[in-house]
Structure 1
Amino acid sequence: MGFEQLAGLKEQLAKQAASAAAKKKAQRARRPVPAAASKPAEPAKPAKPAAAPSKPVDPVVHVIGKLQKRFPLAFPKNPAPKVPLKVGIFEDLMKHAEELGLNEKELRGAIKVWCRGNRYWTCLVQGAPRIDLTGGAAGEVSAADAERAVYLETNRLARSAPAPKTAEAVK
């Protein structure tokens, strides 16, 4: 099939589509208007019931979200592993507080939450590079920091494990 034949076929299909659209428009114009349509319109009811109010989100989560958007290398989103932050990262964040629209209390709370938990403690391995806000290396994790992370994780696991049942507790 040559280009001329394709162009002719395209024109033919366009004419068919236009005539079909004109027929539909004419059929709509011939339909009688139902009596209910002449009445004043009632307020529309929502098709779906209103969603149940969601649980309020902790403000710290919003602050961490801002930090993740502004500093994605220092505050990676889950499921990416967290990275060890530079010692003194809070002072660096305070320089950007006004730009982020955050105050000292909000930043302290966000850093406190970010640096707590299994995901952060597992990244604290001796010799691992600590990261500044731009993602550059800013020191290494010391042996003492790595030991403390292991200690904190062990204590968390011990608290969350169910207490062993003794013979007296069973009776």
Structure 2
Amino acid sequence: MTDRSAAAPAPEPVRFFGTTWVDRGAGYRLRRIAFAVGALLALVAGAALMWLAVAALGDSQGLVGVLLVVAVLGCSVMAGLRTWRTLAVGRGALSGWMADDRALTPIMAVGFVGTLAAYFVRSLVEAPGEGLARSRYEAALARHRQRAGRPPKRGSRR
């Protein structure tokens, strides 16, 4: 007879932090601060890079320049919202056009500044991906409890 409680799921580590959301460890707060500062620095560098690219590509006084700025801002907002939702609720919860990764590749590439902003803001709330790891663990634990309550299957009937 096997012990079903031995196969209980374990919390998975949060990406970039090397610790789980259950046992955060001594350096968790310092790692989260360092991650937030790093994301903010990358955000500033990315925004400067995008500003230089937009200034080099378009006539900043004309209609083309305005449309280019609006397109970059729109892509940044969409990429930031998608990243925020992915970190908060996970990939499985996204639906519609937000779930199709191939369709969003150009938007995510142009709007990388929005992604960096989402990582920065999320790191102020909790470690990015911590809520996702928590929800995955709770779902796995619920499935495990449901399976543990059932009697083991016997051979198939003919």
Please indicate, yes or no, whether the TM-score normalized by the shorter chain is above 0.5: no
TM-score for the superposition, normalised by structure 2: 0.24
Higher strand proportion (structure 1 or 2): 1
Which protein is bigger by CA-based radius of gyration? Answer: 1
Higher helix proportion (structure 1 or 2): 2
TM-score for the superposition, normalised by structure 1: 0.23
